Amino acid sequence: MTTVPVLIALSAILLISWAIFARRRAGHRYPPGPKGLPVLRNAFDVPTQDGWRVFRDWSRRYGSDVVHAEALGSHIVVLNSLKSAKDLLEERPNIYSDKEQSVMFLELCGWWRSWVMLPYGNSWREHRKLFHQSFRPQNVSQYHPQHVLAQRRLLQLMLDHPKDFSENIRFAIGSSILKAVYAVDATPGDLHLRVVENGMETVQHVLHAGVFLVDIFPILKHVPIWFPGAGFKRRAAGYKKLVDEMFKAPYYEYKSAFKEGTAHPCFVGELLSEAEEDTPERDDIFMNVAGTGYGAGIDTTYTAMMVFVLAMVLYPETQSAAQEELDRVLGRDRLPEFADQDSLPQVVALIYEVLRWNPPLPLATPHRAMSEDHYQGYYIPARSVVLENVWAIMHDENVYPNPDTFNPHRFLTYDGKLRDDVPFPDDVFGTGRRSCPGRYFAMDSLFLLISGILATFTIEKALGGDGEPIEVRAEFEPHFFSPPKPFKAVFKPRSAEAKRLIQSCAILAHDG
């Protein structure tokens, strides 16, 4: 019986909202998009999966690189071209540097701790400054030893457990982040990894669930947790415990060792060493800056690595070309190092193509317009959700011909050098002031892991029970992160020498 008044109240809110927003629409020329229905507008047009493809198709249908939708008064503006993304997110940062604030995800589930999602302002600037001082291009090389260790561990895991390549890759990436941020020397399946991975799983659970009513009507966040229909609050409370533990546990563990003088150098150590005071407020900032390092880095880098494996299975000729270059530059008696990067344009081009072919985040995290704006003769209301369609930008046929084909040579000249007239797929990390702050750490990780695998293994299709290769398709998850759908692959050592090289380097990594 208690649901009847609630339904009546919601219906009244819908009608009032429709009247208000219908009045506001009058006289404004929004970017083109589906016509929609009365009251609900485009509630049934806005996609919940594969949005990047749908929005790209809207651009083609309406002849505009900027498209628009509206649902219950929320305006959504999608930027489907590099030009529109640069024009707005980069050239007008005073309007588009804010982030959309989800009540369910950020406030109730506790992901407000991730500073990359903070509203634009002084708090965001303070967090960014602390993170940037260690992860900017000039300083990120201090974490090269962590990447080297991760590379050697990954190769040994691939040798010992080749069928578990997905788990091996995720461990290598996660362990390098934990080592850099908290000086944690993680082992597969240990407590540190379980804590941070449990926190990260909440991201997928919430974002895959679709739109929560509390994000449309924020007043519902005040509903008691026991109230009928408040299951979202009970769910959020469980997630919040996991998110809090992800941010707090490794931070306070390190701080305790730091006070005792037994801590090893790392990012958190730098923060604590330079702190002028020791207060709960300062701890909150430090733990949030540090925890964001894992949260922002693990799924994006993991997705890119899985796309790499899939591409090698589907396009073996690109694998062979990169391996020929590695053999020519390195020989067969050592693993790739960061100093080799400038001498390996084929490998670098392959990494560029991995990022372009299927960006880890096909739609960048949503921006929010801080004031109304006009662009290309269209009106963009204040508080509009602004989405950069990274996938559409990376699949622009005018910039990248035959974009659905994996082709690293698009970045190379005829004599094998990197081209300067084809854009590096930089926008996979976002555009403007809110672009990914860990991009340089991520690129270092991708280079050393991918080049190490190519130097020592050949990736092939797995064989079925009948001895025939199992067919693999270029299919990707249609969610916030877009890794390949599950597939099988085989990692074979390229030679007996490659196997011995892996084992000898693994011994050195263990001893170090």
User: Within its chain, how far is the Cα of 357 from the centroid?
Assistant: 15
- On whether 505 is known to bind a ligand per the annotation, the reply is no
Contacting residues for 444 by C-beta, under 8 A, at least 6 apart: 140, 141, 143, 144, 147, 338
Residue 33 CB: number of other CB atoms within 10 A?
Answer: 25
Residue 429 CB: number of other CB atoms within 10 A?
Answer: 21
- Rounded to whole angstroms, how far apart are CA atoms 444 and 432? 21
User: Within its chain, how far is the Cα of 356 from the centroid?
Assistant: 14
Beta strand 385-388 pairing with 74-79: parallel
Are 428 and 359 spatial neighbours (Cβ–Cβ below 8 Å)?
Answer: yes
- Rounded to whole angstroms, how far apart are CA atoms 47 and 245? 33
- Phi, psi of 376, rounded to the nearest 5 degrees: 55, 30
Q: What is the DSSP letter of 114?
A: -
Beta strands in 61-139 (DSSP E): 66-71, 74-79, 98-99
Q: Which residue has the tokens 């229909």?
A: 229
Q: Which two structure tokens, joined as six digits, stand for 223?
A: 């509903």
- Rounded to whole angstroms, how far apart are CA atoms 449 and 429? 19
Q: Look at residues 287, 290, 315 and name the one whose alpha carbon lies nearest to residue 410.
A: 315
Q: Look at residues 180, 153, 179, 178 and name the one whose alpha carbon lies nearest to residue 168.
A: 153
Instruction: List helix spans (H) across 385-474.
Output: 390-394, 439-456
Q: Which two structure tokens, joined as six digits, stand for 36?
A: 């929609």
- Rounded to whole angstroms, how far apart are CA atoms 488 and 165? 9
Q: Which two structure tokens, joined as six digits, stand for 461?
A: 């299709």
Are 123 and 473 spatial neighbours (Cβ–Cβ below 8 Å)?
Answer: no
Contacting residues for 16 by C-beta, under 8 A, at least 6 apart: none
Q: Look at residues 83, 158, 44, 148 and name the one whose alpha carbon lies nearest to residue 512.
A: 148
Q: Which residues are registered as beta bridge partners of 386?
A: 77, 367
Residue type for 128, please? R
Distance between terminal CA atoms of the chain?
67
Q: Which residue ranges are tagged as binding site for heme?
A: 436
Annotated binding site: 436
